[in-house]
Amino acid sequence: MNALTRTDYHFPGQTGVYHGKVRDVYSIGDDQLVMIATDRISAFDVVLPKGIPYKGQVLNQIAAKFLDATADIVPNWKEASPDPMVTVGVRCEPYKVEMVIRGYITGSAWREYKQGARMLCGLPLPEGLRENQKFETPLITPTTKAEEGHDENISKEEIIAQGLVSREEYEQLEQYTYALFKRGTEMTAEKGLILVDTKYEFGKKEGKIYLIDEIHTPDSSRYFYSDGYAARFEQGEEQKQLSKEFVRKWLMENGFQGREGQQVPEMTDAYCNSVSDRYIELYEKITGEKFVKADAADLEMRIEKHVTDYLKQ
């Protein structure tokens, strides 16, 4: 099993590095970033002890495809993808909010609704909704971007009142979010999928708004299969999902939800490879393309060479 779980590079012009849960982001000078999608996997805000082969390649290539396919809607940070696991792009000052958009009521929104909540991020919800029901129009339910711990739900008015984003800019972010979600919905519908909910992150450089980070990957989005959606919904059955929800379910079935004192269940090579197969299936379903495994014999050296060659250009 060859999975990339940590990086420690010194690229030409490097001025800093940030190791996130899944991505390692290297700053080059003042205005460029090298983002490496590692094979780490996180759930319940915990990085699991083993990596998943090809997961980084899957996420990076899905994000690159959707960034290219939405560049006419909003400028984005991507300049190039010199390696299957790497995107190089423009360094922006990130907004301190994430734009979550929901086409259906499911997940945490459904859990809160079931407990009696009828407001979500300042938006009223009608009575009588059922799990996995489609909203009449998609709802934007932003969250704060937490440095540590959980992101928190927040309303548009709170964001503006706290000075996190000006009203004018927030309304521009809303327009971009609706347009990106519409494009993502149309593209995935062609592949027999429903884009249920997702999140977008934006940043600013020299007064211009950019779409940053990743988009429409199974780590940041939830998908249902459209085939059978209506019948399952009518019968109150679980929807067939395409996301990393299956990993969370496996952890919960084995007594782990990220709480203090809980142990991550043993991740055997066979289990990790089965998760890898699921991620590859996700890639092929979302993109409609055959996944081509990159040579993983020496991942660290391959990435270093590709990135260094690109930066030297």
pLDDT of residue 279: 92
For residues 198 and 211, the answer to whether their CB atoms sit within 8 Å is no
Region of residue 286 (phi > 0: left; psi between -120 and 50: alpha; otherwise: beta): alpha
Count the domains in the chain.
2
- Whether residues 128 and 111 fall in one domain: yes
Q: Please compute the mean of the pLDDT values over residues 257-269 and round it to a whole number.
A: 94
pLDDT of residue 147: 67
- Whether residues 86 and 133 fall in one domain: no
pTM to 2 decimal places: 0.93
Query: Which tens digits make up the pLDDT trace of 181-212?
Result: 999 999 999 999 999 999 999 999 999 999 99
Residue 290 pLDDT more than 90?
A: yes
pLDDT of residue 151: 78
pLDDT of residue 148: 64
Query: Which tens digits make up the pLDDT trace of 67-92?
Result: 999 999 999 999 999 999 999 999 99
Tell me, what CATH number does 228's domain have? 3.30.470.20
Long-range contacts of 5-8, Cβ-Cβ distance < 8 Å, separation of 24 or more: 5/38, 5/39, 5/40, 5/50, 5/51, 6/38, 7/36, 7/38, 7/300, 7/303
- Whether residues 99 and 28 fall in one domain: no
Rounded Cα distance between 85 and 243, Å, is 19
Rounded Cα distance between 40 and 3, Å, is 8
Structure tokens at 76: 């984005």
Q: Please compute the mean of the pLDDT values over residues 22-27 and round it to a whole number.
A: 96
Q: Which residues pair with 86 in a beta bridge?
A: 36, 83
pLDDT of residue 241: 86
Residue 38 pLDDT more than 90?
A: yes
Query: Which tens digits make up the pLDDT trace of 133-153?
Result: 999 999 999 999 876 666 789
pLDDT-wise least confident of 5-9, 42-46, 91-95, 125-129: 42-46
- Whether residues 84 and 104 fall in one domain: no
For residues 18 and 24, the answer to whether their CB atoms sit within 8 Å is yes
**249 is a domain residue:** no
- Whether residues 76 and 46 fall in one domain: yes
**74 is a domain residue:** yes
**3 is a domain residue:** no
* List of residues 6+ apart from 70 with CB closer than 8 A: 76, 180, 183, 184, 211, 215
Q: Please compute the mean of the pLDDT values over residues 278-285 and round it to a whole number.
A: 93
Question: What domain range includes position 43?
Answer: 14-92+267-312
The closest of 12, 51, 22, 96 to 304, measured between CA atoms, is 12
